[in-house]
Copies of this chain bind each other. A is one copy, B any other.
Amino acid sequence: MPDVFPSDSVGLVTPETITIEEPIALDCGRVLPSYTLVYETYGTLNPTRSNAILICHALSGDHHAAGYHDTGETKPGWWESAIGPGKPIDTERFFVVCCNNLGGCKGSIGPTAVNPATGKPYGPDFPIVTVKDWVRSQAQLANRLGIDTWAAVIGGSLGGMQALQWAIDYPERIRHAVAIAAAPRLSAQNIAFNEVARQAILSDPDFHQGHYYEYGVIPRRGLMIARMLGHITYLSDEGMRAKFGRELREGKLNFNFESEFQVESYLRHQGYSFVDRFDANTYLLMTKALDYFDPAADYDNDLSMAFRRAKAHFLVISFTSDWRFSPARSQEIVRALLAARRQVSYARITAEHGHDAFLLPIPHYRDTFSAYLERVDREVNDHAG
């Protein structure tokens, strides 16, 4: 490993690809006869195969959670703050796995992949997938990797929802579930934001009913609007005030529609840069997976009934300024776990960074996260011993 990378980074990583030649029946009723998943691993699987941790990604995330793909890369994986030697998810203790989910656009099967039935990209014909579908496919990946039981399944936001679903659907295969900045299901307001983002994409003339690949275009405007809107919900009012305030780019009002306030310029930049690295059909699918997530729905709308199946121990973390999935939403999870007599630790971290806080190296958050995972590690060693 060249020393260009920080010593607390996993450094250079190479994604791996696996094709699972076994059909998967999806919640929507359709079946994928086989499917490819791209994933990364960090650290070493111990001889008893008991130190594996699954990381689940959020809406625009992927399998590249930590480290660098090449020595020239300046930006590490999306959860570099939490994964690496000495970090909360310590790669000197744990074997860490992260895959790009079904429907993704970074190498796993999804709208941009070629549909063997047509020889063209799936596009809008790719089925709408759910959190349960993802968990099912991740279980198959675990089988292939020889991992019977995860020491922990961990995720933030939509990733945290997958951790919860894992605990419900595979109670014997997960010892700890860590759900950070998550919610037990989306509120009407959450769905509303997703719907505006979807309409922006669906109504873009370059969307072509999802077949834009064939037209050599991408629904750039719609995806940009969707991403800009998403960013507002990832940040907090107070965080934006601290970061941008009402600062003007040129120190004066120009009375036109160019970006004048710093916050406008920031959002436009976020929008522009996103369209070149993310697929619009995947974005649509991910928002649907969020809307549909509702583990209580299978249990008479009683979340605690859903959790009664679980055997894992839980860590739930929320952030005070997160208004996308506020502490109150995490507390719904905690209350249901307590009602189900499950073991749960809950931390409400004071942070002004909004929903994005889960990606940031906030000391109190990092310490809480580390302390919990040290416990997970002790259990691994007890188990191994």
A5-13, A32-40, A135-143, A249-257: which one contacts chain B? A249-257
Complex Cα gap A292–B260 (Å): 10
Residue A240 is within 8 A (CB to CB) of chain B in the complex: yes
Whether A189 contacts B237 in the complex (CB less than 8 A), given A29-B255, A203-B221, A267-B196, comes out as yes
Pick the contact of A192: B191, B198, B263 (CB < 8 A): B263
Pick the contact of A292: B127, B253, B263 (CB < 8 A): B253
Residue A4 is within 8 A (CB to CB) of chain B in the complex: no
Complex Cα gap A271–B199 (Å): 10
Residue A274 is within 8 A (CB to CB) of chain B in the complex: no
Residues of A in contact with B, size category = 35 or more
Complex Cα gap A268–B243 (Å): 33
Inter-chain contacts of A191 with B (CB < 8 A): 246, 261, 263-264
Q: Indicate if the CB atoms of A246 and B196 lie closer than 8 Å.
A: no
Task: Please encode chain A, from 187 to 204, with 1 for each CB lying within 8 Å of some chain B CB and 0 for all others.
Answer: 111011101101110111
Q: Indicate if the CB atoms of B188 and A261 lie closer than 8 Å.
A: yes
Task: Please encode chain A, from 171 to 199, with 1 for each CB lying within 8 Å of some chain B CB and 0 for all others.
Answer: 00000000000000111110111011011
Complex Cα gap A232–B196 (Å): 9
What's the minimum C-beta distance from A192 to chain B, rounded to whole angstroms? 5
Q: Indicate if the CB atoms of B199 and A241 lie closer than 8 Å.
A: no
Q: Indicate if the CB atoms of A261 and B291 lie closer than 8 Å.
A: yes
What's the minimum C-beta distance from A38 to chain B, rounded to whole angstroms? 24
Inter-chain contacts of A90 with B (CB < 8 A): none
Whether A284 contacts B257 in the complex (CB less than 8 A), given A196-B229, A203-B221, comes out as yes
Question: In this complex, what residue of B is CB-closest to A195?
Answer: B264
Inter-chain contacts of A284 with B (CB < 8 A): 257
Q: Indicate if the CB atoms of B245 and A225 lie closer than 8 Å.
A: no
Q: A-side binding surface: helix, strand, loop or mixed? A: helix
Residue A244 is within 8 A (CB to CB) of chain B in the complex: yes
Q: Indicate if the CB atoms of B128 and A268 lie closer than 8 Å.
A: no
Residue A279 is within 8 A (CB to CB) of chain B in the complex: no
Residue A228 is within 8 A (CB to CB) of chain B in the complex: yes
What's the minimum C-beta distance from A355 to chain B, rounded to whole angstroms? 13
Q: Indicate if the CB atoms of A195 and B263 lie closer than 8 Å.
A: yes
Residue A294 is within 8 A (CB to CB) of chain B in the complex: yes
Residue A28 is within 8 A (CB to CB) of chain B in the complex: yes
What's the minimum C-beta distance from A329 to chain B, rounded to whole angstroms? 10
Inter-chain contacts of A195 with B (CB < 8 A): 228, 259, 261, 263-264, 267-268
From A27, A221, A228, name the one whose CB has the most chain B CB atoms within 10 angstroms.
A221
Question: In this complex, what residue of B is CB-closest to A228?
Answer: B196
Residue A380 is within 8 A (CB to CB) of chain B in the complex: no
- In order of increasing CB-CB distance, the 8 nearest A-B pairs are A188-B240, A28-B255, A203-B221, A188-B244, A188-B263, A189-B237, A128-B255, A195-B264
Residues of A at the B interface (CB closer than 8 Å) are 27-29, 127-128, 185-189, 191-193, 195-196, 198-200, 202-205, 221, 224-225, 228-229, 231-232, 235-237, 240-241, 243-246, 253, 255-257, 259-264, 267-268, 271, 284, 288, 291-292, 294, 323
Given A196-B229, A253-B292, 4 new contacts (CB under 8 A): A188-B246, A189-B235, A189-B241, A257-B284
| Interchain residue pairs with CB less than 8 A apart (15) | A127-B255, A185-B246, A189-B237, A192-B228, A195-B268, A196-B229, A196-B232, A199-B224, A199-B268, A202-B257, A203-B225, A205-B205, A255-B288, A257-B284, A261-B291
